[in-house]
Amino acid sequence: MKKVFVKSYGCQMNVYDAERMADMLASEGYSETGAMEEADLVILNTCHIREKAAEKVYSELGRVRELKKERQGQGQETKIVVAGCVAQAEGKEILRRAPAVDVVVGPQNYHNLPQLLAKARTERVVDTEFPIEDKFDHLPRPSKAAIRNRGVSAFLTIQEGCDKFCTFCVVPYTRGAEVSRPVSKILDEALRLADAGVRELTLIGQNVNAYHGEGPDGSVWSLGRLLHRLAEIPGIARLRYTTSHPRDMDDELIAAHRDLPALMPYLHLPVQSGSDRILDAMNRKHTGDEYRRLIARIREAQPNLALSSDFIVGFPGETDAEFEDTMRLIADVGFASSFSFKYSPRPGTPAAEIETQVPEAVKAERLARLQNLLETQRQAFNHGTVGQTLDVLLEKPGRHPGQMAGKSPYLQAVQIETDSHGIGDVVTVRITRAGSNSLFGEVVRSGDQAAA
Ligand code: SAM
Ligand code: SF4
């Protein structure tokens, strides 16, 4: 059996795509390996969102080329594939800069991998066309064993691409226009995942709450309606969705946070900035106060809601006062967790053309202050859960014998002592202590057991 090593960078969409590539190659006789040195096929599933992400890929390619040479010396062949958004954006340029690469394949084309690999026996190939057909229709179904191996929490892509064109972002160019998968295909995949023991589904998409897929009756379903249907699937205990845009939080979705116990009270809703002028320049199409009011409405529907967000500091032209607006918004809203980045100019995006770029040192100083505040909020949130009773989905054995590790509704890692519960059980836990990255607790009720 040949071996494939897949390394994924960036977002959850890439994690999902990497799994689909592995499923596809399993039916071509490849087994997955975690050791690049023994791989006959190395796939780098790349991210183009920030400059460093692309540069990391080129330096990794240098290492893979050395490996390819070494294996060649031992009479073994290694094929190198660059997939994902750097592949889409750079195309042929990758073949020029990295002569060891055999195949470059965009995120909409990886269902063609078997044919591309066959072609790569004689020539180096690039496939970055946006195809008419849906790649999901061409992907093989993973085996029950493969699903089980990946754990009780699974990603499920329901939407791809983006039509929002935020001025800093490459996604609309690398992932293409927004497309929602039909409800029947999503249900089919969700049922198979549940049947293999998956307890938690995270619906993913670049703009997941813009979902508007065709329902079984031909009508258009919103994300709120889809969540209601998925919550009916036996075995599915938890639902999440990411990443959302504030503009697409409609009434039906907000009501789902009130009405669906399976929908976790945790929402990743990126705001990027707290300054109205910067939000406008980013083309986000909402103000800081509109975001605050939206959060108040969702919290009214779901009082236990915890939030996470993405922030960009040093967007072109951002003044000290505008940065302080972001700090104020963070203080007003309160986040349980967050991702924050220095603005990184992406070729081809409108913001990269703005002349007043913020100096690197200013960006670094702002990022440090912002991350300090966010970290204080994260720690405060974690400590605030001490003494509370939370449901924990058990995902794996803990650090020590007799321990199990799982996740709270707020995606916090929780360690418990137990010898009577297994992976996939949802147990009710009283949180006794908060460490810097994990919570610790004791079981107070057995709750919902995973199917045997
Ligand atoms: N669709 C999501 C949204 O609307 O917020 C975000 C998707 S993007 C993959 C993830 C995050 O990367 C963004 O929320 C943003 O904070 C960050 N990001 C995107 N482009 C960036 C850039 N040019 N520089 C720095 N951060 C960027
Ligand atoms: Fe990028 Fe904006 Fe689309 Fe999110 S909504 S993927 S940040 S263009």
pLDDT at 133 over 80: no
Q: Which residue among 165, 248, 310, 354 has the greatest number of ligand 1 atoms within 8 angstroms of its CB, and so is best to mutate?
A: 310
Rounded to 5°, the CA angle 442-148-194 comes to 85
Ligand 2 atom nearest residue 172's Cα: 8
The kind and range of the H/E element at 23 are helix 12-26
CA of 428 to the centre of ligand 1 (A): 35
Ligand closest to Cα of 173 equals 2
Q: Which residue has the tokens 């036996």?
A: 234
pLDDT at 452 over 60: no
The string over 341-357, giving b where at least 16 C-beta atoms fall within 10 Å of a residue's C-beta and e elsewhere, is: bbbbebeebbbbeeeeb
Contact (Cβ atoms closer than 8 angstroms) between residue 50 and residue 14: no
Q: Is the pTM of this model over 0.85?
A: yes
In tens, the pLDDT along 218-277 reads 999 999 999 999 999 999 999 999 999 999 999 999 999 999 999 999 999 999 999 999
CA dist 50 and 266 (Å) reads 26
CA of 303 to the centre of ligand 1 (A): 28
Burial class (CB within 10 angstroms; exposed 0-12, middle 13-18, buried 19+) of 371: middle
Contact (Cβ atoms closer than 8 angstroms) between residue 414 and residue 406: yes
CA of 162 to the centre of ligand 2 (A): 6
pLDDT at 449 over 80: no
pLDDT at 285 over 90: yes
Phi and psi at 155, nearest 5°, equal -90, 150
| Helix boundaries (H) for 178-310 | 183-195, 223-231, 251-259, 276-281, 288-301
Query: Once rounded to an integer, what is the mean pLDDT over residues 87-114?
Result: 94
Q: Is 209 near ligand 1, meaning CB less than 6 Å away? A: no
Q: Identify the three-state secondary structure at position 90.
A: helix
The kind and range of the H/E element at 389 are strand 389-397
Pairing between β-strand 389-397 and β-strand 403-407 as defined by DSSP bridges: antiparallel
CA of 341 to the centre of ligand 1 (A): 8
The answer as to CATH 3.90.1150.10 being correct for domain 142-384 is: no
Query: Once rounded to an integer, what is the mean pLDDT over residues 120-145?
Result: 87
What's the confidence (pLDDT) of residue 445? 82
| Helix boundaries (H) for 385-449 | none
Q: Is 351 near ligand 1, meaning CB less than 6 Å away? A: no
In tens, the pLDDT along 374-396 reads 999 999 999 999 999 999 999 99
The answer as to CATH 3.40.50.12160 being correct for domain 2-127 is: yes
What's the confidence (pLDDT) of residue 131? 77
CA dist 178 and 30 (Å) reads 32
Contact (Cβ atoms closer than 8 angstroms) between residue 18 and residue 135: no
| Helix boundaries (H) for 135-221 | 144-149, 171-174, 183-195
Q: Is 186 near ligand 1, meaning CB less than 6 Å away? A: no
Ligand closest to Cα of 168 equals 1
Query: Once rounded to an integer, what is the mean pLDDT over residues 337-353?
Result: 95
CB-based pocket (< 6 A), ligand 2: 162, 164-166, 169, 171-172, 206-207, 245
The fold adopted by the segment(s) 386-443 is OB fold (Dihydrolipoamide Acetyltransferase, E2P) (2.40.50)
CA dist 439 and 397 (Å) reads 15
Query: Once rounded to an integer, what is the mean pLDDT over residues 186-207?
Result: 96
Q: Identify the three-state secondary structure at position 326.
A: helix
**Which DSSP string do the residues of 372-428 spell out, in sequence order?**
HHHHHHHHHHHHHTTT-EEEEEEEEE-SSTTEEEEE-TT--EEEEE-SS--TT-EEE
Average pLDDT, the chain: 95
- The structural domains of the chain, with segments of one domain joined by +, span 2-127, 142-384, 386-443
Q: Is the four-CA dihedral 420, 426, 427, 433 of positive or negative sign? A: positive
What's the confidence (pLDDT) of residue 53? 80
pLDDT at 201 over 60: yes
What's the confidence (pLDDT) of residue 399? 85
Query: Once rounded to an integer, what is the mean pLDDT over residues 24-29?
Result: 92
CA of 386 to the centre of ligand 1 (A): 32
CA dist 216 and 210 (Å) reads 19
Q: Band the pLDDT of 54: cuts 50, 70, 90.
A: confident
